[in-house]
Amino acid sequence: MTIKNVVFDLGGVLIDWNPRYLYKSVFNDTERMEYFINNIVTSEWNSQMDKGKPFAEAIRELTAEHPEFSKEIAMYHAGWPQMIKGEIKEGVDLLNEVKNSQKFLIFALTNWSAETFPLAYKKFPFLADFEGIVVSGEEKMIKPDKGIFLTLLERYHLNPEECLFIDDNLNNVNTAKSRGMSAVHFKDPKKACAEVKKILKI
Give the DSSP per-residue string, the chain: ----EEEE--BTTTEEE-THHHHTTT-S-HHHHHHHHHHTS-HHHHHHHHTT--HHHHHHHHHHH-GGGHHHHHHHHHTGGGGEEEE-HHHHHHHHHHHHHTS-EEEEEE---TTTHHHHHHH-GGGGG-SEEEEHHHHT--TT-HHHHHHHHHHTT--GGGEEEEES-HHHHHHHHHTT-EEEE-SSHHHHHHHHHHHHT-
Q: What are the φ and ψ backbone dihedral angles of 168, each rounded to 5 degrees?
A: -85, -5
pLDDT at residue 133, rounded to an integer = 98
Confirm if 36 and 137 have CB atoms less than 8 A apart.
no
User: How high is the pLDDT of residue 75?
Assistant: 98
* pLDDT, position 120: 96
**Predicted local confidence at residue 149, as pLDDT:** 98
CA angle 23, 27, 29 (to 5 degrees): 130
Confidence (pLDDT) at 100: 96
pLDDT at position 94: 98
CA distance 43 to 26: 19
How much is the pLDDT for 1? 74
Residues in the chain where the model's pLDDT stays below 50: none
pTM of the model: 0.95
